[in-house]
Amino acid sequence: MPSTSDLASTLDHDQAVGRLRSSYQRIPAGQPVRLAKRSSNLFRPRTAVETPGLDVSGLTGVISVDPAARTADVQGMCTYEDLVAATLPHGLMPMVVPQLRTITLGGAVTGLGIESSSYRNGLPHESVLELDILTGSGDLVTARPKGEHAELFRTFPNSYGSLGYATRLRIELDPISPYVALRHVRLGLDELAPAIESIVAGGTYDDQPVHFVDGVAFSPDEAYLTLGRNSDAAVETSDYTGQQIFYKSIQQRTTDFLTAEDYLWRWDTDWFWCSAAFGAQNPYIRRIWPRRLRRSDVYHKIIGFENRHQVAARINRRKGHPDRERVVQDVEIPASQLAGFLRWFDAEVGMRPVWLCPLRLRDPAGEAWPLYPLKPGETYINVGFWGTVPIAPGAADGDVNRRIEAAVADFDGHKSLYSDAYYDRDTFDQLYNVPALQEVKDRYDPDARLTGLYEKAVTRR
C-alpha cells in the first residue's frame, strides 16, 4: 500500500502537471513550445524566445521509491542529486548516474547520459519502464515498451525535446553498497580495449569483481582504468570535496575508498578537471572557495557569464593571444578503434586529459534505439574532452570540431548532441535517423510546435 507521503507526492505531482498543461494553453498558437527553465547542462547557445514557456517548476522531485521492487517514480525535472538522495538510504541507485549533480532524469533520457555502470547497465533510457510525456500537441500520454505509444517510447531517447517533455518516469534501481573500493590500473593505449572487453565478458579483473569502470588518458603514454567494486566496509575513505582533487589521485595512488555518495559525485566537485580554468584547483584559491560553490552548476554559470560578456576573450585579445575555439564533446568509439582514435586525437587536437567510459546497450540481443543507433552486443568507449584550443592563423572557429566530427565517422563512432555540432542537414539526418524521428513527430506534434532536432543541435534555434 502506498504510504501517506507517497499519496501526497502523487497529489502534488498531479497538480504540477495541471499547471504545466495550463501553461501550454497560454502559449499562443503557432509559437514554439519550450521549457521555462533558467538552468541547463547543454553546451550550445540558442536563439532567445520572448514567448511564455512551459511551467515545469513543480516537476522537480521524487514521487516515490519502492525498495522491494527496486523502482522509483520520478518527475522529469528532478536532478540526479535529489534522486540519489532519495534512493541511497535504501541501498539503491539509478542504474546509471551521470557525472554531474544537476543533470535531470528527463534530460538524461531525452538526451543521453553515461557513467561507470554503463558497461553493464547501458544508458539511462534503458532502465525506464514507462514515462508520461507532454507532446507537441498538448496531449499527455503514457509510453511503454509495448502498446499504443511504443514507437514514441523508443524514439524519445536522443530527441532532445523535439517529441515532447517527460513529466514522470518510472525507472529501475540498482543495489549499491555503502562504500566503493577503487583500483587505478595503468595500461598502455593498446591494452585498454582488451582489458575492458575482458571485464565486460566476466565482470572481474585480476579475479576481483568489478561493478564500475571508467578511465582517464593523460597522454598517449599514460592511461588508467579506474575499477570500482561495491564494499560493505572501508579501511579509510578519501574526501575529494576539500583540498584533494580526484583526477590527480588517479596518478598518485593505486587503491582508494569512497563512500557511495562521494563516488557517484567524484567528478562533480571539479567538473572532472575543468575547474582549473577558474582557479579552483589553486591551493590558495581553493581554501577560500566555499565547498558548496565548488560544483559543476556554479562553473556552468561562470561559463554562461563569459559567453554573454566575453570578458576573458577580450583580455586574451589585448594580450595578443589568438582567439580560442570551444571543443566540448563526448563521442562513442568502438572498443576496437579506441587506441587509433586516441592517437589521432592527441596528435591532431592535443587536448589532455580525456575521459574514457565503456558502454554497451543493456540488452545485447535487443533492438537498437532509433535516434542513436549503437549496435547491440558491441562495446563502445565514450571519449570525453572539454576545453578550448587556439584558432590557428587562417583557420575559422569551428574547424577543429568539424575535423573531430569527420574523424569520429572515420573511426565508426557516434557523437552526442549536447554541445556544438556542425553537420550538414543530409549527414545529420542520416547519422541520427531523422526520417524515423519525423514519422513519430508527425503523429505527436502535427503542427510542429516543438523545435526540430537539427534546429536544436546545429542551427541553435
Q: Is the model's pLDDT at 51 over the cut of 80?
A: no
Q: Is the model's pLDDT at 144 over the cut of 80?
A: yes
Look at residue 7 in the predicted model and tell me its pLDDT.
87
Looking up residue 49, the CATH number of its domain turns out to be: 3.30.465.10
Look at residue 331 in the predicted model and tell me its pLDDT.
98
b/e burial code for range 167-178 (CB count within 10 A of at least 16 → b):
bbbbbbbbebbe
* Banded model confidence at residue 50, pLDDT cuts 50, 70, 90: low
Look at residue 307 in the predicted model and tell me its pLDDT.
87
What is the arithmetic mean of pLDDT over 159-170?
Answer: 98
Is 211 within 8 Å of 96 (Cβ atoms)? no
Burial class (CB in 10 A: 0-12, 13-18, 19+), 347: exposed
Type of residue numbered 451: T
Would you say residue 262 lies in a domain?
no
Range of the domain at 144: 4-176
Across all residues in the chain, what is the average pLDDT? 94
What is the arithmetic mean of pLDDT over 239-268?
Answer: 98
Look at residue 311 in the predicted model and tell me its pLDDT.
84
Of the candidates 191, 185, 190, the one whose C-alpha atom is nearest the C-alpha of residue 210 is 185
Would you say residue 69 lies in a domain?
yes
Of the candidates 101, 107, 106, 112, the one whose C-alpha atom is nearest the C-alpha of residue 298 is 101
Look at residue 30 in the predicted model and tell me its pLDDT.
84
DSSP-derived 3-state class of residue 139: coil
Is 151 within 8 Å of 143 (Cβ atoms)? no
* Banded model confidence at residue 315, pLDDT cuts 50, 70, 90: confident
Q: Is the model's pLDDT at 46 over the cut of 60?
A: no
Query: What DSSP character marks residue 332?
Result: E
What does the pLDDT look like over 201-221, one tens digit per residue?
A: 999 999 999 999 999 999 999
CA distances, 389 to each of 163, 174, 221, 341, 370 (Å)? 35, 39, 21, 18, 33
Would you say residue 360 lies in a domain?
yes
Domain boundary among 158, 176, 194: 176
Look at residue 366 in the predicted model and tell me its pLDDT.
78
What is the arithmetic mean of pLDDT over 132-160?
Answer: 97
Rounded Cα–Cα distance for residues 112 and 115 (Å) = 11
What is the arithmetic mean of pLDDT over 72-98?
Answer: 98
What does the pLDDT look like over 364-414, one tens digit per residue?
A: 877 789 999 899 999 999 999 999 999 999 999 999 999 999 999 999 999
Q: Is the model's pLDDT at 38 over the cut of 70?
A: no
What is the arithmetic mean of pLDDT over 306-331?
Answer: 92
**Residues 6 or more apart whose Cβ sits within 8 Å of residue 207:** none
Q: What is the pTM of this model?
A: 0.95
* Banded model confidence at residue 171, pLDDT cuts 50, 70, 90: very high
Look at residue 290 in the predicted model and tell me its pLDDT.
96
**CA end-to-end span of the chain:** 46
Would you say residue 55 lies in a domain?
yes
Domain boundary among 146, 176, 206: 176
Q: How many domains does the chain have?
A: 2
Would you say residue 37 lies in a domain?
yes
Query: What DSSP character marks residue 331?
Result: E
Look at residue 47 in the predicted model and tell me its pLDDT.
56
Rounded Cα–Cα distance for residues 403 and 27 (Å) = 40
What is the arithmetic mean of pLDDT over 82-92?
Answer: 98
Looking up residue 377, the CATH number of its domain turns out to be: 3.30.70.2520
Residue 124's Cβ-side half-sphere holds a number of Cα atoms within 13 Å equal to 27
**Residues 6 or more apart whose Cβ sits within 8 Å of residue 276:** 270
Q: Is the model's pLDDT at 451 over the cut of 60?
A: yes
What does the pLDDT look like over 2-19, one tens digit per residue?
A: 566 678 899 999 999 999
Would you say residue 196 lies in a domain?
no
* Banded model confidence at residue 40, pLDDT cuts 50, 70, 90: low
Would you say residue 411 lies in a domain?
yes
Would you say residue 67 lies in a domain?
yes
Domain boundary among 176, 198, 229: 176
* Banded model confidence at residue 191, pLDDT cuts 50, 70, 90: very high
Look at residue 188 in the predicted model and tell me its pLDDT.
97
Give all strands (DSSP E) within 317-442, no chain letters. 324-334, 354-359, 380-390, 414-415
% residues pLDDT > 70 (the chain):
95
What does the pLDDT look like over 176-189, one tens digit per residue?
A: 999 999 999 999 99
Q: Is the model's pLDDT at 223 over the cut of 90?
A: yes
The 3-state DSSP composition of the chain as helix, strand, coil percent (nearest 5) reads 35, 25, 40
Residue 11's Cβ-side half-sphere holds a number of Cα atoms within 13 Å equal to 7
